Amino acid sequence: MRRAILLFAAVAPLITLLLWSTSAVAALGILMLSHALLLYPTLVANAQWLGPVMTRFETGQRELWLTIDDGPADDTPVVLDVLERLGVQATFFVKGILTEKRADFAREIVRRGHTLGNHSWSHPSATFWCLLPSAVRRQVERCNDAIAAITSSAPRCFRAPVGMKNPAVHPVLKRHGMTLVGWSARGFDSTTDDPEVVLRRVLPDVRPGAIVLLHQGRASSARIIERTVIELQKLGYSFVVPDAGRLKTNR
């Protein structure tokens, strides 16, 4: 579908010009449709039109994948202690610029048995969706380099800032053998410090194989992570980090 959308977007201006003299309404409709076909998969998280976004993983057990965005942050030691106490394995989708500054925290994440994913170099949440291909490449590759300096290998998973992506993202990821990872359940914990509110948002979308998205770096992050994990464990779920072969695109 990606090729069809890009092809249509490329020829839409020409079609608009050809139609303008006979039907301005039809011409404008073609132009608006081409924009919509690009904007929808760019701005809507987990939309698959521009390429696969992994939102679940294969499992026959009551297993979940806990993913934690936006670190390493000052609360990393506390978050790691919470996860260790609860016996949980997670993937931290980190910002490259913070990983470089807090390499000690990134190393501790790995030492404790967790994995690191790429969440871009500087997390340009307001502009990532419209970055030029060269800028997308720099965001991915600089973060890869920061993680590789810690783990001696580049990450295999990428999560776009705010879940947005553009036509340049998948070609860059393909070049580096990386997978775009979305989520199944999210608590929007960057908008509230109330663990109960987060839990109410997460629970309806949780089922075996779900990818749970939470954040660190906020005053309430550790408390929210702890409360969410405890309640999900009470429901009989365990937490694993699936290999790439188990990831799925359907929600």
- Positions marked catalytic: 69, 215
Asked if residue 210 lies in contact with residue 36, where contact means CB atoms within 8 angstroms, the answer is: no
Q: 169 near 198, Cβ under 8 Å? A: no
Q: Please, how many CA atoms are within 13 Å of residue 34, restricted to the half-sphere of its CB?
A: 18
Measured CA to CA, the distance from residue 222 to residue 53 in angstroms comes to 27
Residue the block writes with tokens 């991915």? 140
**230 exposed, middle or buried (CB, 10 Å; 0-12, 13-18, 19+)?**
middle
Helices 221-234 and 76-86: angle between axes, nearest 10 degrees: 10
* Distance from C-alpha of 67 to C-alpha of 162, rounded to nearest angstrom: 14
